[in-house]
Amino acid sequence: MKILQLLFKNVRNNSFFKQTWKESKSIVDSIFGCSSKKNTINRNFINDFAEFLEKKNGMSKGGAIAEDTEEMILPILENSSPKTMNLLHSTIKKMDLEISDGIPFELLEQEARSIKFKKAKSIEEATQYAKEQLGINRFEVPDIETANQINYSLTKAFNKTEGAIKGFDEVEYVALGKNSKGLDPSRCPAETHAVFKDQKVKKTVLRINKTFFENIDKSINDELTMLEEHGQISKNKLGNNIIRLVADYRYSNTLNRYYRLYQQGKLTQKAKVDFDSLLHNAMEEERYVLSNKTSTCNIIKEYLGIDISHLSGKEYITKAKQGLLELQDNHNIIACARENPLKQNGAVGLDGYILHEQGHSDCFKRMSYNKLKSPHKFSDEEAHIAREVSEYAPFDSSEFLQETFAGLMSGDKYSSPTMSLYFKNGGLYT
Residue number, 255 or 363, with CB nearest to Zn ion: 363
Strands 233-235 and 241-243: antiparallel
Sign of the four-CA dihedral 110, 114, 115, 118: negative
Choose between 23 and 399: whose C-beta lies nearer to Zn ion: 399
Q: How far is the CB of 384 from Zn ion (least distance, A)?
A: 20
The set of long-range contacts for 275-280, using a CB threshold of 8 Å and a minimum separation of 24, is: 275/220, 276/216, 276/219, 276/220, 276/223, 277/189, 277/348, 277/349, 277/350, 277/352, 277/353, 278/251, 278/254, 278/348, 278/349, 279/220, 279/223, 279/224, 279/255, 280/223
CB of 38 to Zn ion, least distance (A): 23
Q: How far is the CB of 399 from Zn ion (least distance, A)?
A: 5
Would you say 47 or 179 has its CB closer to Zn ion?
A: 179
For Zn ion, the closer of residues 181 and 257 by Cβ is 181
What does the alpha-carbon distance between residue 171 and residue 187 come to, in Å, rounded to a whole number?
Answer: 19
In whole angstroms, the minimum distance from the beta carbon of 213 to Zn ion comes to 18
Binding window for Zn ion (CB under 5 A); candidates: 168-176, 288-296, 298-306, 395-403: 395-403
The CB density around residue 175, as the number of other CB atoms within 10 Å, is 13
Nearer to Zn ion, 10 or 358 (CB): 358
* Nearer to Zn ion (CB atom), residue 23 or residue 382: 382
Beta-strand relationship, 200-209 and 233-235 = unpaired
Query: Are the C-beta atoms of residues 405 and 356 closer than 8 Å to each other?
Result: yes
Task: Tell the smallest beta-carbon distance from residue 121 to Zn ion (Å).
Answer: 32
Give the bridge partners for 301, in sequence order: none
- Options 13-21, 110-118, 340-348, 398-406: segment touching Zn ion (CB under 5 A): 398-406
d(CA 35, CA 32): 9
Quick one: 249 or 364, whose CB is closer to Zn ion? Answer: 364
Cβ proximity to Zn ion: between 52 and 405 the closer is: 405
- Region of 82-90, 161-169, 362-370, 392-400 interacting with Zn ion (CB under 5 A): 392-400
Q: Least distance from C-beta 360 to Zn ion, angstroms? A: 6
Q: Whose CA is closest to 158, among 112, 190, 203?
A: 112
Site string (401-420) toward Zn ion, x via CB under 5 A: -x------------------
Q: Which of helix, strand or coil describes residue 391?
A: coil
Residues paired with residue 335 on neighbouring β-strands, in sequence order: 247
Site string for Zn ion, 350-389 (x = CB under 5 A): ----------------------------------------
Collect all residues with Cβ–Cβ distance below 8 Å to 400 and sequence separation of at least 6: 378, 386, 389, 393, 394, 421, 422, 425
> Whole-number minimum distance, CB 402 to Zn ion, in Å?
5
- What is the 3 state secondary structure string of 223-260? HHHHHHHCCCEEECCCCCEEECCCECCCCHHHHHHHHH
Q: Least distance from C-beta 356 to Zn ion, angstroms?
A: 6
User: By the 8 A CB rule, do 80 and 19 touch?
Assistant: yes
Binding segment for Zn ion (CB under 5 A), chosen from 13-21, 133-141, 244-252, 394-402, is 394-402
Which runs of consecutive H residues, i.e. helices, occur in 58-100?
67-78, 82-98
Distance of CA 122 to the CA centre of its chain: 23
Smallest separation (angstroms) from Zn ion to the CB of 123: 27
Q: State the CB neighbour count (10 A cutoff) for residue 218.
A: 11
Question: Residue type at 233?
Answer: I
> Which window, 83-91, 92-100, 391-399, 422-430, contacts Zn ion (CB under 5 A)?
391-399
Residue with smaller CB distance to Zn ion, 70 or 284: 284
* Interacting span for Zn ion (CB under 5 A) from 211-219, 246-254, 400-408, 417-425: 400-408
Q: Which is nearer to Zn ion, 259 or 378 (CB)?
A: 378
Closest contact distance (angstroms) between CB of 395 and Zn ion is 8
Report the nearest approach of Zn ion to the CB of residue 398 (Å).
7
Q: Number of residues in contact with Zn ion, rule: CB under 5 A?
A: 2
Stretch that binds Zn ion, among 197-205, 261-269, 397-405, 408-416 (CB under 5 A): 397-405
| 75-83, 233-241, 333-341, 393-401 -> range binding Zn ion (CB under 5 A) | 393-401
Binding to Zn ion (CB under 5 A) within 119-178 occurs at none
Q: Report the relative pairing of strands 190-197 and 200-209 from DSSP bridges.
A: antiparallel
Reference 20, options 201, 194, 164; nearest CA is 164
Nearer to Zn ion, 223 or 399 (CB): 399
Residues in touch with Zn ion (CB under 5 A): 399, 402
